[in-house]
Amino acid sequence: MKVFDLQGKGTNFVAEILAGITTFITMSYLLVECPAILASGGVEQSSAYLSVCLACFIGSLLMGFIANQPFVVGPSLGMTVFFSSTLLTELHYTYTQALLITLFAGLIVLIFTLIGFQNAIFNAIPKSLKNSISAGLGIYMALVGFKNAGFLSSDSNGQWKLMNFSDAKDSLWAVGLMFFGIVLIGLFKKFHFRLTTMLALLATGLTYYLGTVLLKTANLSNLSLRALIPVPHLGSFNSQAYALWGRGVLFKNLSDGFATLFFSEGTTWKTVLSIFLTVVVCSLFNSVESNGVIYATARGQLDENGQFGSLKKTLLSGSIASATGSCLGSPLLSVAPESSAGMAAEGKTGLTAVTSALLFLLASMFPAVLTLIPSVVTSCVMVFLGITMLAAAKDIDFGDIAEGVPAIITMILIPFTSSVIDGIAVGIIVHMALNLLTLKFKSVKIIEVAVALIFAASYFLI
């Protein structure tokens, strides 16, 4: 296919399709978690699910055709939490008002991209922080993988603990399969098998289904084999959610948000100033997060100067997707860290992103698709990818306090706050402060100082 230049990129149609499927499978848990987070802030969950799916569909299409990159655009978990807990809960914006704020933020990021400011932010983030973002994302992905398989759990206080091995036969089976999948990926890579990740996914998924049948047979020997085998099905068309979304979400939210945000009786200049600051912070959150995730997932494509050839088109695709997502009812989107799963599965072009996009559209129509994907299948890939992304930590100079301390803070905050935004924001603030205090003025760029000050102000003013 000429539009994707498959031959020039050293790939083929089948490999790209399989890579797109791999990315979608790895990201599928977000289609459950993000709508649930939005629902906790008062958003109708079925509409939120449809909004997220359709936003991912359009964003990934844009990434495929504009940037011709295997990056898939998806909901930012950190931005979704910020949208629900901060904009909706703490600041008491309505859902329509919060969507309008994220739309303005997405448009600002789009302008940043068009004038080259996004590239400047990418270059202004210190290399040590970029590597720590990659390592922090690696830890985060591994934690999510362990949690989805049942190997780890977290309570309401954020305390992580191991599973109860003595009272969880089904969980023990899933955890064993997760480690089985990790070992398979490692062995396939060691012996240079083609389509390593997909082969491991298929082997783990098949073992899961066959093993589940055997376990059920052992416990319920009087049932027929046909009743035990999980038969794949798409379920019914998601017509009710589409109807609800079309009436109450599509574009109507933005007009309602505009009317109540700027033309209500309680609107004052202080209100407008607060809205402006919130929009600026949201746009910086989205911009810096996108830059960090792109660096983390594209490390293998960077040149000797740490530059990424298709950065502007990639950022442009992501920024258009963010603004479009708000129109569709979803908070700001970004390049998904899970895109590294498709890249590990030998995805090299935009056809990978387009394949994932079509699967997001399918999932929007038939939510039952997600029930066909065992969590253990995604878990083994996420843990293995997390391990490989941790390799970026070896390039950090931990002997230099001004570089090592911010890097460690970033690596810790990303997984334990489940927010790339907070990890990067605090990392940049600490990096600026320590370099200025140690008189290493050349290590701090003007753009980094500006971004750090805005982030610092956001923690106190928003």
Terminal Cα-to-Cα distance of the chain (whole angstroms): 48
Give me the pLDDT at residue 369, please.
83
CA distance 153 to 164: 10
Give me the pLDDT at residue 225, please.
43
Give Cα separations from 308 to 266, 299, 303 (angstroms).
47, 9, 7
Q: What is the CA radius of gyration of the chain?
A: 22
Copy the structure tokens of residue 29. Answer: 């848990």
Render each residue's pLDDT in the chain as its tens digit; 462 residues. Answer: 678 888 888 888 998 999 999 999 999 988 988 888 888 877 888 888 888 899 999 999 999 999 999 999 998 888 888 888 888 888 888 888 888 888 889 899 899 888 888 888 888 888 899 899 999 999 999 998 998 888 888 766 667 788 877 766 667 888 888 999 999 988 888 887 777 888 888 888 888 888 776 666 655 544 444 444 455 555 667 777 777 666 665 556 666 767 777 666 666 667 777 788 888 888 888 888 888 888 888 776 666 555 666 778 888 888 898 888 888 888 878 889 889 888 888 888 999 999 999 999 999 988 888 878 888 888 998 999 899 899 889 989 999 999 999 999 999 999 888 888 889 999 999 999 999 999 998 888 898 999 899 888 888 876
Phi (first) and psi of residue 73, to 5 degrees:
-90, 130
Residue 433, H or E segment: helix 420-437
At 97, the amino acid letter reads Q
Q: How many CB atoms lie within 10 A of CB 173?
A: 16
Give me the pLDDT at residue 229, please.
46
Phi (first) and psi of residue 153, to 5 degrees:
-145, 160
DSSP letter for each residue of 180-248:
HHHHHHHHHHHTT-TTHHHHHHHHHHHHHHHHHHHHHHHH-TTS-HHHHS------S--HHHHHHHHHH
Give me the pLDDT at residue 323, please.
87
Copy the structure tokens of residue 398. Answer: 């931990």
CA distance 411 to 316: 27
- Residue 333 near residue 61, CB atoms below 8 Å: no
Q: What angle do CA 346, 388, 193 make, to 5 degrees?
A: 40
Q: What is the pTM of this model?
A: 0.86
Give me the pLDDT at residue 7, please.
87
Give me the pLDDT at residue 21, please.
93
Closest CA to 182 of 378, 381, 373: 381
- The pLDDT tens digits for 424-438 are 999 999 999 999 999
